[in-house]
Amino acid sequence: MPDLIDEKDAFAQISPAPQAGLFCRTGVRYEVALDVMGSMISHYAEAIGLESSQANPEAAVVALYQVLQTEIRDRRDALDPKDVDAIETAIAHYGQRAKAVFSESANADQNARRAHFLHANASLALEGVVMDSVDRAIQEQIAIGAISSDEAVALLRQISAH
């Protein structure tokens, strides 16, 4: 007796299994990751523009924002649309920062962090340590939630190495 093929099996032989495509969950999450990373890139573009429009723009502050912007852009460009773990890590990391930067309700927290930095800077000034414009720009990025304290330390080390 010839082997009988179930119609599902027959269909599977002529029609390959559906591939993960444009509208799969990973694809959608990848787009979310690109969006939140893009929002942080635009945040730094705005910061560069604001600093550049000052009467006496600080070149070091512009350079700092360019480094931060380039770092995110490079990570976004390297993000593999099939790497679920990297996509979720990017969403968690940059989503949290974008929420902190762009949230309407974040102002009270941001102002409290700014006040802490003002007090710390005043104490340091009494000891003869003055924060320069780059230090203050980094403090502002921490205050608004764009970078963490650990990221600020890594950034300061990177800057001092140059």
For range 45-68, the mean pLDDT: 95
Name the 3-class secondary structure at 144: coil
Distance CA 99, CA 137 (A): 19
Can you give the residue ranges of every domain in the chain?
21-161
- 118 phi, psi to nearest 5 deg: -60, -45
Q: Identify the weakest region by mean pLDDT among 22-31, 83-92, 127-136.
A: 22-31
Residue 16's pLDDT is 45
Residue 102 or 7, more confident: 102
Within 10 angstroms of residue 81's Cβ, the number of other Cβ atoms is: 16
Question: With helix as H, strand as E and coil as C, how does 27-52 read?
Answer: HHHHHHHHHHHHHHHHHHHHHHHHHH
For range 16-44, the mean pLDDT: 81
Residue 3's pLDDT is 55
Cβ contact 153:127 at 8 Å:
no
pLDDT digits (tens, 9 = 90+) for 83-98: 999 999 999 999 999 9
